[in-house]
Amino acid sequence: MKILITTDCYTPMINGVVTSIRNLETQLRSRGHEVKILCPSQYLHGESRDNIVRIGSIGAGKFCNGARAAVCFRKSSLQKLIDWKPDVIHAQSEFFSFAMAKRIAAAVNCPIVHTYHTIYEDYTHYFSPSIALGRKAVVTMTRHVLQYAEAVIAPSRKVETLLRSYGVQKPIAVIPTGLDLQRFETRFPQLQVDTLKRSLEISPEQKVLLTVGRVAKEKNLAELLDYFGRLSLPDAVLCIVGGGTYLETLRQLAAEKGIADRVIFTDAVSPDKIPLYYQIGDIFLSASQSETQGLTYLEALASGLPLVCRKDACLDDIVTDGWNGGLYTSFEPFQKWITAFCGDAAVTQQLSRHAVQTAERFSAAGFAEKVEFCYQEVLKNWKMQSA
């Protein structure tokens, strides 16, 4: 198959959508498919190289650091993709690149499959003073965009349920994003782990409660600071790995709570170093309820870390209380799980084994196989309708 993937975010930007796209394109190519990417460039001018067509763009960093809006394109750029004649277009974003996906699909008469990555109602504080009006705008936008898709891929049942509540009637395939598990399962030499700990001023006897990802208000990191400050674990540190718009606010909050000396902010970390950062941790934490699936959960599990996370529908098939982690809805269960998991070494080892076993269900190869099947079903129905 010839598969065109369209997206509003791509490398060098770092986030879960980009990770999902990179894993998918790599696996699809390994399965013998031709894959091209249509995405914004980092400049006003576009460029084409190595099966990637980058469209001239402007910054859109209000919503996310590094975000770009593709607005300056030459007709010749899209014409090359039209002449290539993709069999299917897989749209990964709802905005600028989706408009181009529609244009190309109409020109070559091919179907669009769309992955719905983002729960936009959790981001209404960026664009609407009213939660109700913001949600209404999200529902209207979502229904409008998805009317042009032949099928929708949801990363979790949580997203499927949400889309049905919006009134979306299109076929929805629930396909969790897969990971390159080997990146996280491979153990680094202890010397490297110890060296990183020393660079962060973490002593060998300290327990490391770790969270990884974009530092933004909707990730609810303020709750982690609050709960961490209330724990009776003087030999524990909280390590927040990642950069973002909310970083300075959290630094000030840690100082106000008197825990600045036990909270480590790394700022942005290169993707190739992230697997090593997981290996300094003892427990992975998350208070976010804005995830559609949460790739960092899977990365942490593959790294052998038990999860302690705020209860959320996207974790229904991932976290089993006491087996590979624990879910909480208030401080008391949060404290219970942290205390239990920081205790007996045998319990810690068992949790780690179970964590890795859970992650093995989410391989990149299995992910691509399911997406490929979705394409085949869409194309079969498309040809029947066109006959």
Binning pLDDT at 50, 70 and 90, where does residue 128 land? Answer: low
Q: Using CB atoms within 10 Å of the CB of residue 238, give its burial: 0 to 12 exposed, 13 to 18 middle, 19+ buried.
A: buried
The CATH number given to 2-178+364-386 is 3.40.50.2000
Structural contact between residues 244 and 216, judged by C-beta atoms closer than 8 angstroms: yes
Note the Cα 332 to chain centre separation in Å.
Answer: 28
- CA-only gyration radius of the chain, Å: 22
Using the predicted structure, report yes or no on whether residue 282 has a pLDDT greater than 70: yes
Domain boundaries, the chain: 2-178+364-386, 181-359
d(CA 370, CA 383): 20
Structure confidence at residue 126 (pLDDT): 60
pLDDT, tens digit (0-9, with 9 covering 90-100), for 213-232: 999 998 999 999 999 999 99
Q: Do domains 2-178+364-386 and 181-359 have the same CATH topology?
A: yes
CA distances (Å), 137 to each of 93, 101, 177, 380, in order? Answer: 16, 22, 27, 34
Binning pLDDT at 50, 70 and 90, where does residue 158 land? Answer: very high
Q: List all residues 6 or more positions away from 293 whose beta carbon is below 8 Å from its beta carbon.
A: 16, 155, 156, 159, 176, 177, 314
Structure confidence at residue 74 (pLDDT): 63
Omega prior to 12 cis, within 30 of 0: yes
Number of Cβ within 10 Å of residue 222's Cβ equals 16
Structure confidence at residue 13 (pLDDT): 84
Q: Could you tell me the fold of the domain covering 181-359?
A: Rossmann fold (3.40.50)
Structure confidence at residue 133 (pLDDT): 83
Structural contact between residues 39 and 48, judged by C-beta atoms closer than 8 angstroms: no
